[in-house]
Structure 1
Amino acid sequence: MPKLTQYNHVFAIGTFFALLDAYNNGANDVANAWATSVSSRSISYRQAMVLGTIFEMLGAITVGARTADTIKNGIIPIAAFKNNASVQMLAFTCALAAASSWVMWCTRHSAHVSSTYSLISAVAGVGIATVGVSKVQWGWNNGKGLGAIFAGLGMAPAISAGFGASIFMLIKLVVHMRKNPQKYAVFTSPFFFLIAGTICSLSIVYKGSPKLGLNKKPAWFIASATVGTGAGLALLSALFFVPYIYCKVIKRDPTVKWWMFILGPALFKRPAVEASERSVVPNYAVVQEDEFASDSELGKTASDEAITDNGSDNEKKVVQVEAQQLSHKEMQAQAQDKLHAQLRKKKGPMGWAMRTLHENPMGAGQIYEKHNIITFCKRLPAMIVCGALYGLYYDIHAAQTGIAGTPDGKRMARVYDHAEKYDNEVEHTYSFVQILTACTASFAHGANDIGNSVGPWAVIYGAWSTGNAAKSKAPVPLWQLAVLSATISVGLITYGYNIMKVMGNKITYHSPSRGCSMEMGAAITVLLFSQYSLPVSTSMCITGATVGVGLCNGTIKAVNWQRVGLLMLSWIATIPIAATLGGVLMALFLRSPHF
């Protein structure tokens, strides 16, 4: 059959919402995956963007086609469409529209939801409206039905918490509880390279991309290839990484530069540095008062300080001070104003854009007033630049830690007090390891979550290009995986800060040794589910791992259960809301009057 050229508009709309869903995925789920590394100060936001882009695309292109096939064919059976390609195109377009709209609204309001379960729920709702309740695959369906997928809603966070807690307890016993933890941290670091290399290579070789054909190899080949890759990476780290980090952490040699890792074991022979000349490693402690904070941000006023200094208990003055205390929203607004004032001082495009917006406010009256039209034309280029670059300059740490004195700040202070603080040199060692685990987690996310967008888009494209609904069973084209993985990265770069600022340290106390355990636990869980073609929420996995590591402090008070409860509520609410939106959209378009 020829192309369905009469449905070009449906294909165009479906493509738009597939790109929007991928963008939201990056702004929501990928941002959550990298929030742990940024929160722990192991990596800057900009460095996370670069590495996130690389490893997202690698995971999506090499492994991502598997979960895409589940969303394409596992929820609504192809036979239910009775070879009606146009209805199939419309169904998946409505599912994408419902899911992407819901996730976009939640991301805008910094509400963290699962883009995976949003799309799956929307597809189920569309299936009910299109082919009826009985045709939707509610059962297990060989691991591809809704029963199997929603089983992961409870299984994934619990499994991830177990993996994350196990890894951190191993670090705690082997490194943190030793008398000389710095050396143990340095010389055991290759173990994490072994784990990361083995997991990534296993995901590619064992049931990886069908185009590679590696899944047809014998078991001995798979085992030797994956373990050999991990062992090779561990050997390279022992030869080049260990000597470099030994000089940085044990010797604290300020003359050692990053490129000197190529010297390998020769770095051990460098002369010792006197104590007075030793460098100081960065401070990884999470504090409420960031460098960005000011007295006004902490809710202090001149009257407040006067009463403190004079020790006056005059009731009238106390009432005046309470009246002048800033509300939580006012303190947040002042913090944002301070950030914007700093950005206006920069010389690059971002500084120009912020100055332009500040110097050209919209005037009185409606937008169609002449002076407002002129002002809007001046502001438009600056608004575009800000939209593209604002996330790269956002102060994640100031936004995450909360503002001291507010209910949120007090709650986080109580959580931090119940978390044991470890040696700063040890945490510095694990800051390098955490970059590796973050890249592994990003690879895992690309392998799993790319199916959210590319599965429906592959159905739409296949039905439109062939005119045959059954053709949607064909493998996902490589170019579609590449385009959507790039779109995911754009979402992370431009809008991911909205999710990062409410994750990370607002669940439990973060540090590099804790963060690498969380990321590795989440990555193992995501890749495990990917191998069985089960789309699972990366957000749920990293949240479960974060809670599991937080509980390793030995008390439930080390976890912010209010934040965890809000996350769980948003996950559960997503299912009926996304399903209803998708079903209503499909019912309206499918049963609208025809002329």
Structure 2
Amino acid sequence: MNPHDFTWIFALGIVGSICDAFGIGANDVANSFASSVSSGSLTLAQACIIAVFTEFLGAFLLGSNTSETIKGGILSVNLFVSQPEILMLGMLCALIGSASWVLFASKKGMPVSTTHSIVGAIMGVGIAAFGGGAIQWGYSGVAKIITSWFVSPVAAGLVTSIIYLPTRYFILEHPDSLERGIKAIPIYFFITSLISAFYIIYKGAPGTKAAKMPIGTTIGISFGVAAGVTAFAWVFFVKWLRRRVIGKEDIRWYHLPVVHFVKHRPMPEPAPVLSAEASSELESGAGEAQDKMTLGTKGIYSDIDIDENTGALPSDAVEGNKFSFAKLAKRLKYYALRGVNKDVRNLDNKKLANVHDAARKFDDDTEYLFSFLQVITACLASFSHGSNDVANAAGPIAAIYEIWKTAQVDTSGKAPVPMWILAMAGAAIDLGLLTFGYHVMRKLGNGVTYLSPSRGFAAELGTSLTVLTASKIGLPVSTTHCITGAITAIGLCNGNFRALNWKMLMWCFLSWIITLPVAGVVAGLLFAFGSNAPNKFI
């Protein structure tokens, strides 16, 4: 093989990597924001807007460590030294096998592990190529990853419990929980910002010296950042909360920096309640206006006739209907935003009523205090997810690219992952969340147990700690496992087994179990077919 041979494998590998990253966004990114959306701290649209930036930055800046593990830590690449093009083909088949399963599972709303999927696919390729000896079964390879599958949900659950239980007993259950919560908020900001700053600096961005700084310097900078955030929270945020939550003033988020200088702003008077007779007249008038708008001018249907749920025209309007830019714009808007205009909270789901009723509810105003913290932890969880799970799509295409460029197999496993690959995968992850992520998000969060802002804050912070720690040491843990373990721990902290949807948990466990063999079989069969085809097709 010569450099730049088999360009078609490289080109198809890029497509496969994009599809796999799209599936990661559609499936795994929902995990990062499921608790925030389920608790009501963020709307689905707001979560998607935040994730567009945090997922991409996490993947682009901090995604190289785990990409190297996926790229060369599972297969014994030495077996491919004499035939580099076979390893290229194998990584292509692994991407196709992984992407096929993840996209299918996402469509069905199955919260599978994309880490499981790509690991299973690479194992399938290795076994199809050289038998079981091609796989690094020891702790330096598969065993290390399998261990993380069991350790990560337990670790995330324990950390989440340590965060949530003191919050519950010392704040939420106190008779004056609101006052205690307001006084404690700066402390929570200190802890959250300290952890966030430490892990981001400690992991370090490629091309900088952040990761090489002495641990003492890292801790010092982290404490400085946390102290600054805490001071701001104490001086401005606490005052803002007292006026908005206790004083019931019409204080907006943009008043936060100048809250001490804003005059009293009473809440606007609620709209008057119409009598039954007046409401009937109003509905009648609205109906007549609607009929006139529907009829339009000269028999042309207006853009209002496009169905909000399907983006389609009514059947009786198809014939003789003329082109309308307004109608086209509305239809394009529908398809562009349909992925973020979905109800994923499951609060009105009658099948989950018993599960939600079994969870203890606390004061709404006190829970509201944790909404702001949860936004921060959601960003951290998303950032850590981008840094960890981008490896699932970036690792195989990085291996393909290296071989295509050099015609050699890198046996050291230390070659850096090109930044353009991380950027491409990060962008595809964002696209998957925006258009397809709502399927899985419906299953998590309130689908497992009742989540409030305080519960969601603890679950996200516990998940972030687990994922970021694993990402730093190059261990590609499953974000799905971590967030599921954290949410399960929250449900158990209610002290009532009925507060958990055990059927949903079993569904999650089943999807995890079948992911590895299904992705492995698909990728292995593709590789067996391609590697044994006539030479002119290879």
TM-score > 0.5 by shorter chain: yes
State the match for 1:17 in structure 2. 16
Report how far residue 2 of structure 1 moved. 5.5
Q: Which residue among 215, 219, 225 is the counterpart of 1:223?
A: 219
State the match for 2:362 in structure 1. 422
Distance 1:396 1:189, change over 3 A: same
Is the 1:110–1:498 contact (alpha carbons within 8 Å) kept by the matching residues of 2?
yes
Distance 1:351 1:171, change over 3 A: farther
Distance 1:479 1:236, change over 3 A: farther
Alignment of 1:261 onto 2:260: no
State the match for 2:151 in structure 1. 155
Distance 1:495 1:45, change over 3 A: same
* CA RMSD of superposed structures (Å): 2.8
Report how far residue 349 of structure 1 moved. 10
Alignment of 1:214 onto 2:210: yes
Report how far residue 388 of structure 1 moved. 2.8
Q: What's the secondary structure of 1:391's corresponding residue?
A: coil
Distance 1:430 1:14, change over 3 A: same
Distance 1:179 1:354, change over 3 A: closer
- CA separation in 2, counterparts of 1:349 and 1:531? 52
Alignment of 1:174 onto 2:175: no
State the match for 1:393 in structure 2. 341
Is the 1:63–1:203 contact (alpha carbons within 8 Å) kept by the matching residues of 2?
no
State the match for 1:322 in structure 2. none
5+ long unaligned stretches in structure 2: 271-301
Is the 1:83–1:470 contact (alpha carbons within 8 Å) kept by the matching residues of 2?
no
1:421 counterpart letter in structure 2: K
- CA separation in 2, counterparts of 1:445 and 1:279? 43
State the match for 2:443 in structure 1. 502
1:540 counterpart letter in structure 2: H
With structure 2 as the length reference, what TM-score do the two structures score?
A: 0.86
User: How is 1:67-466 mapped onto 2 (pairs within 5 angstroms)?
Assistant: 67-141=66-140, 145-254=141-250, 256-265=251-260, 357-359=312-314, 386-397=334-345, 400-401=346-347, 403-404=349-350, 409=351, 412-466=352-406
State the match for 1:340 in structure 2. none
- CA separation in 2, counterparts of 1:112 and 1:348? 37
Report how far residue 497 of structure 1 moved. 0.8
- CA separation in 2, counterparts of 1:45 and 1:348? 26
Distance 1:355 1:421, change over 3 A: closer
Report how far residue 439 of structure 1 moved. 0.7
- CA separation in 1, counterparts of 2:328 and 2:246? 52
5+ long unaligned stretches in structure 1: 281-346, 364-370
More divergent stretch after superposition (445-454 vs 76-85): 76-85
Instruction: Give deviations 1:239-262, integer Å, cap 9, x for gaps.
Output: 3322212211122112x2221101
Q: What's the secondary structure of 2:535's corresponding residue?
A: coil
Is the 1:160–1:522 contact (alpha carbons within 8 Å) kept by the matching residues of 2?
yes
Is the 2:311–2:331 contact (alpha carbons within 8 Å) kept by the matching residues of 1?
no
Instruction: Give deviations 1:348-379, integer Å, cap 9, x for gaps.
Output: 9995786752435999xxxxxxx9xxx9xxx9
Report how far residue 181 of structure 1 moved. 0.9
Q: What's the secondary structure of 2:28's corresponding residue?
A: helix
Distance 1:162 1:128, change over 3 A: same
Distance 1:128 1:195, change over 3 A: farther
Report how far residue 434 of structure 1 moved. 1.0
2:188 counterpart letter in structure 1: F
More divergent stretch after superposition (239-248 vs 384-393): 384-393
More divergent stretch after superposition (386-395 vs 425-434): 386-395
Distance 1:565 1:162, change over 3 A: same
Q: What's the secondary structure of 2:401's corresponding residue?
A: helix
Distance 1:394 1:271, change over 3 A: closer
Instruction: Give deviations 1:90-110, integer Å, cap 9, x for gaps.
Output: 111110100000011111111
- CA separation in 2, counterparts of 1:531 and 1:53? 22
State the match for 1:561 in structure 2. 502
Report how far residue 195 of structure 1 moved. 2.9
With structure 1 as the length reference, what TM-score do the two structures score?
A: 0.78
Distance 1:233 1:98, change over 3 A: same
Report how far residue 233 of structure 1 moved. 2.2
2:190 counterpart letter in structure 1: L
Report how far residue 576 of structure 1 moved. 1.2
More divergent stretch after superposition (14-23 vs 480-489): 480-489
Report how far residue 179 of structure 1 moved. 1.9
Distance 1:349 1:427, change over 3 A: farther
Identity of aligned residues (%): 35
User: How is 1:469-480 mapped onto 2 (pairs within 5 angstroms)?
Assistant: 469-470=409-410, 473-480=414-421
Is the 2:54–2:382 contact (alpha carbons within 8 Å) kept by the matching residues of 1?
yes
1:4 counterpart letter in structure 2: H
- CA separation in 1, counterparts of 2:240 and 2:9? 56
More divergent stretch after superposition (192-201 vs 13-22): 192-201
